[in-house]
Chain A
């Protein structure tokens, strides 16, 4: 594994494989009327999702994260279940595919090993609100319809697109390759019964109490966002899913 970035006191300088995302603000799905947008500091985000090949190199060096060796508290039983073996990630062409069936713990450990971290949900959503041409496409009905179609066609059995979509920041495949882990995936959750006023089993912060799926949503027509939030709401840190991968982020020092 090549380390393509310098590690300085735990902060990584963006490598060429990372994209610098400038500071800005965005409106999360759940925010009260009149509440200011959420500020997002500048950060760097992996241009691409982590691949099987990259994850194979990681587990090669860190046996504790191999399938069959990982502790049960850190990953459920389907961890890396699509791999033929603990150190076999599939045929050559599979190595370039996004790694799936990794738990939050494993994703976090991977990023940490690269001197990076997982993006926060705010960072991820902020970067992911860019269309191919506009950095803030959050109010772009066409972009939203496009995402909905992407998600709808994203059946787990469906082949991945030949080329991932690149957004206005230069980040690739945020929406078309699968769901992605975020550092704080369960800090803002949709209640399990998404119509009830905020009493989700994982209620942990103030957002929950205005988090009825529609009431309290800044934009009840943002179905793609509802879908992402609903997926996150169901996750635990040891969950692994066929359709869930990740990429890493870094807090820039330059």
Chain B
């Protein structure tokens, strides 16, 4: 394994590694960072070791965030200090391809589904500008799960067509988070494509890899059946019943297959930022023909498991998976709730070029294998 030492965070993460069972009493008793050492009543009151996060004293400089459309990820952060990061997001409503000959009026963060990938550093002061295109039909807002604040920003960011809202937040917690629109009716805004991801790199940064990808799973609920041609609209009843017509990666059937497959070469260390927008389903994310060396479950900052084939991603959640491309060939990304992959679109492809390694895999007898 070439990536056995690659961990998302190089820091032995004390505070993040403290999944504590919190009683109300423990919470009330632990408003500070101090532990319980020296406390005569330690046995009675066990303090939860929770960091009270505070924004940095100062942030240096200012920059405009580089935002990318899936499957691309903005470049790694090389700064070693917090800064002010300006994020410009514009909501655009437009008819887009959901599948071949199938259109859907998507509501997007930045003109594509999923929305723009945002990458900042723990401690950064983010100034988020949310614009809503003048030709939109609806007001929109944004809830970023990385935000410590009212509604994740949604409460103060309702933005009319032609308008703009601005709010700032300090990225207190590192991790991989989704963001989405939270305007009423929320399920409709999410079912129409309003979601994306924000990565808050830990202060120490992420271990270097050769390739990073942005993959987000989501569902569409259409009046027509899977593959019915023409402009499709939301079928609310299917949404309420959680019976999606489409389950896709990166906003449409075939968004990352064929010519648009993710590309890598043998020997590449690969990191995929995987989000699940829902709006309803959890994802049993699996890459056929590969094993994840590291899984950062639920988008957290600690490799929670190694040597995983299928990892569960909650709706409204994320995961980071890392593996090395040991062999050439096509790796297939699926939601292993397999009808979704076979019949609803939850398929992607990672094409690995290079020389096949017969020691890793060789077919020696069977259909399609020519006798020498």
Please report A residues at the B interface, Cβ cutoff 8 Å: 78, 141, 144-145, 148-149, 151-157, 179, 190-196, 199, 201, 213, 221, 223, 226-227, 229-231, 233-235, 239, 241-243
Q: Name the A residues within 8 Å of B161 (CB-CB).
A: 156, 241-243
A192 B151 Cβ-Cβ under 8 A: yes
A153-B231 CB under 8 A given contacts A192-B151, A242-B135: yes
How far is it, in angstroms, between the C-alpha of A153 and the C-alpha of B94 when the chains are bound?
10
Q: B138 CB to closest chain A CB, in angstroms?
A: 7
- Size range of the interface on B? 35 or more
How far is it, in angstroms, between the C-alpha of A151 and the C-alpha of B189 when the chains are bound?
13
How far is it, in angstroms, between the C-alpha of A47 and the C-alpha of B145 when the chains are bound?
46
Q: Name the A residues within 8 Å of B152 (CB-CB).
A: 193
Specify which of A152, A193, A234 is in contact with B105 (CB 8 Å cutoff): A152
A154 B137 Cβ-Cβ under 8 A: yes
Q: Name the A residues within 8 Å of B234 (CB-CB).
A: 148, 152
Q: Which of B138, B157, B159, B231 has the most CB of A within 10 A?
A: B138
A195 B139 Cβ-Cβ under 8 A: no
17 example contacts (A-B, Cβ-Cβ < 8 A) are as follows A78-B162, A144-B236, A145-B236, A155-B94, A155-B137, A156-B136, A191-B155, A192-B156, A192-B157, A194-B154, A194-B182, A194-B183, A196-B150, A196-B151, A241-B161, A242-B134, A242-B162
Q: For the complex, is B38 an interface residue (Cβ under 8 Å from A)? A: no
Q: For the complex, is B219 an interface residue (Cβ under 8 Å from A)? A: no
Q: B203 CB to closest chain A CB, in angstroms?
A: 30
How far is it, in angstroms, between the C-alpha of A156 and the C-alpha of B137 when the chains are bound?
6
B160 A235 Cβ-Cβ under 8 A: yes
Q: Name the A residues within 8 Å of B105 (CB-CB).
A: 152-153, 155
Q: Name the B residues within 8 Å of A154 (CB-CB).
A: 137
Q: Which of A152, A201, A229 has the most CB of B within 10 A?
A: A152
Specify which of B137, B162, B185 is in contact with A226 (CB 8 Å cutoff): B185
A155 B185 Cβ-Cβ under 8 A: no
Q: Name the B residues within 8 Å of A148 (CB-CB).
A: 233-234, 236
B184 A190 Cβ-Cβ under 8 A: yes
Specify which of B95, B156, B162, B186 is in contact with A241 (CB 8 Å cutoff): B162
Q: A212 CB to closest chain B CB, in angstroms?
A: 9
Q: For the complex, is B118 an interface residue (Cβ under 8 Å from A)? A: no
Specify which of A144, A151, A201, A230 is in contact with B183 (CB 8 Å cutoff): A230
Residue of B nearest to A81 (CB): B134
Residue of B nearest to A150 (CB): B233
B137 A243 Cβ-Cβ under 8 A: yes
Interface flags for B200-239 (1: CB within 8 Å of A; 0: not) read 0000000000000000000000010000000101111100
Q: For the complex, is B141 an interface residue (Cβ under 8 Å from A)? A: yes
Q: A192 CB to closest chain B CB, in angstroms?
A: 4
How far is it, in angstroms, between the C-alpha of A220 and the C-alpha of B346 when the chains are bound?
29
Within 8 A of A (CB), among B117-147: 134-139, 141, 143
A221-B240 CB under 8 A given contacts A192-B151, A192-B158, A213-B185: yes
How far is it, in angstroms, between the C-alpha of A174 and the C-alpha of B335 when the chains are bound?
43
How far is it, in angstroms, between the C-alpha of A224 and the C-alpha of B184 when the chains are bound?
10
Q: Name the A residues within 8 Å of B134 (CB-CB).
A: 78, 156, 242
How far is it, in angstroms, between the C-alpha of A243 and the C-alpha of B183 when the chains are bound?
18
Q: A1 CB to closest chain B CB, in angstroms?
A: 30
B233 A152 Cβ-Cβ under 8 A: yes
Within 8 A of A (CB), among B160-209: 160-163, 182-186, 188
A193 B188 Cβ-Cβ under 8 A: no
Residue of B nearest to A148 (CB): B236
Q: Name the A residues within 8 Å of B160 (CB-CB).
A: 234-235, 239, 241
Residue of A nearest to B239 (CB): A223
Q: For the complex, is B322 an interface residue (Cβ under 8 Å from A)? A: no
Residue of B nearest to A225 (CB): B185
How far is it, in angstroms, between the C-alpha of A241 and the C-alpha of B160 when the chains are bound?
8
A193-B182 CB under 8 A given contacts A223-B236, A234-B160, A239-B160: yes
Q: Name the B residues within 8 Å of A78 (CB-CB).
A: 134, 162
Residue of B nearest to A78 (CB): B162
B188 A233 Cβ-Cβ under 8 A: no
Q: A165 CB to closest chain B CB, in angstroms?
A: 17
Q: B180 CB to closest chain A CB, in angstroms?
A: 11
Residue of B nearest to A229 (CB): B184
Q: Name the A residues within 8 Å of B157 (CB-CB).
A: 192
How far is it, in angstroms, between the C-alpha of A234 and the C-alpha of B184 when the chains are bound?
11
How far is it, in angstroms, between the C-alpha of A178 and the C-alpha of B234 when the chains are bound?
18
B143 A193 Cβ-Cβ under 8 A: yes
Q: Name the A residues within 8 Å of B231 (CB-CB).
A: 153
Q: Name the B residues within 8 Å of A151 (CB-CB).
A: 137
A213 B158 Cβ-Cβ under 8 A: no
B135 A157 Cβ-Cβ under 8 A: yes
Q: Name the A residues within 8 Å of B188 (CB-CB).
A: 223, 226-227
B184 A226 Cβ-Cβ under 8 A: yes
Q: Name the A residues within 8 Å of B138 (CB-CB).
A: 227, 230-231
How far is it, in angstroms, between the C-alpha of A169 and the C-alpha of B197 when the chains are bound?
47
Q: For the complex, is B276 an interface residue (Cβ under 8 Å from A)? A: no
How far is it, in angstroms, between the C-alpha of A199 and the C-alpha of B150 when the chains are bound?
11
A193 B141 Cβ-Cβ under 8 A: yes
A234-B158 CB under 8 A given contacts A155-B93, A190-B184, A223-B185: yes
Within 8 A of A (CB), among B46-80: none
Q: A68 CB to closest chain B CB, in angstroms?
A: 18
How far is it, in angstroms, between the C-alpha of A193 and the C-alpha of B136 when the chains are bound?
19
Q: Name the A residues within 8 Å of B159 (CB-CB).
A: 234
A195-B151 CB under 8 A given contacts A152-B105, A190-B184, A231-B139: yes
